[in-house]
Amino acid sequence: MKKQLISCFLFLLGVSAFGQYQLMNPAFAKGGDKAGRDALGLCCTSQASLGNNPSVMNFFSDLRNKFGDVTFTKTDGYARVQGSAYYVKEFKKATIYDKGEEVAEFYVRYDAFNDDLEVKRNKYSLTKESLIRDEDVSCVVDGREYRYMSFKDDNDEMVKGYVVSIYEGNTYTVYERLRKTYKDGKYAKTSHGTDFPPRFSDKTEYYVAVSNDPPVYAKLNKKKVLDFFDGSSKKELAKYIKKKSIGFKNAEDLVSVFRKADIMGNEIAVASN
């Protein structure tokens, strides 16, 4: 009996301590943010959202129909698909900024399929929310700053989404956009064939901003990269690519060209896109 009373006391003490932790944490204090915006207001939903991408909505709608469950959730949908919608599944402590000023600390993970920053107000929370999609609001997690911004995609259309800068120079900024695409499953055509379950596949895109212009899609290809330049600078960079045997197989190959262009400084001529 004595052991039970002690255990009960310790449990209540733990609950009380956690409650005090919430009250002491500036992120839980009303008006505790530095920018004058309620930090908790940066989270816009009580559950992680499905975003505003029509293909994402169609994906969940199709899965609901397949499994005949109107209560079908985002988590249920992800569990049915091979692979992961996340590059990092764990929620990591992150710093939230509003107009460049720190306003809160939450626990965050990036849903690369849904292009959504999922938020827990503390690591013990069972509720997931979504960080508000706002170009003034950014999030730094694991040393990577996620910014919601407008850019020109591979179809030459202006869209919005999360990008992470991987190089910032005097004239050029290179952004990385980690995505997850969905591929539907296929049944084997014969009894000797193999079924392929629905799955998530990795997709990485790169964008380059010239000065204050919106970022533009940059294909990992020598010709496409050189299209960012004109005249003698284009020829000079072509020589540099050949000398360094740059094959445009990864982000560093892309960054090295724009770093060289920044070093060239006033000699560089930028093509009009």
Give me the count of residues in the chain: 273
Domain membership flag for residue 56: yes
Domain membership flag for residue 50: yes
Residue type for 106, please? Answer: F
Per residue in 26-58, pLDDT (tens digit) is 333 333 333 333 444 566 554 556 555 555 556
Q: Could you tell me the residue range of the domain that residue 241 belongs to?
A: 220-273
User: Among 35-49, 130-144, 183-197, which range has the highest average pLDDT?
Assistant: 130-144
The whole-angstrom distance between residue 143's C-alpha and the CA centroid of its chain comes to: 13
What's residue 10's pLDDT?
A: 37
Angle formed at CA 181 by CA 80 and CA 190, multiple of 5 degrees = 60
Domain membership flag for residue 23: no
Closest by CA position to 163, among listed 125, 119, 218, 121:
218
Domain membership flag for residue 199: yes
132, 99: one domain: yes
Domain membership flag for residue 17: no
39, 174: one domain: yes
241, 212: one domain: no
First to last CA, the chain: 78
126, 138: one domain: yes
Domain membership flag for residue 73: yes
Is residue 224 pLDDT above 60, yes or no?
Answer: yes
137 burial level (CB within 10 Å; 0-12, 13-18, 19+):
buried
Indicate the range of 33-42, 118-127, 132-141 predicted with least confidence: 33-42
Which two tokens mark 58?
Answer: 């169609």
214, 192: one domain: yes
214, 232: one domain: no
Residue of 27 and 241 predicted with greater confidence: 241
Count CB-CB contacts under 10 A for residue 113: 26
60, 88: one domain: yes
- Count how many domains the chain has: 2
Indicate the pTM of the whole model: 0.76
Domain membership flag for residue 19: no
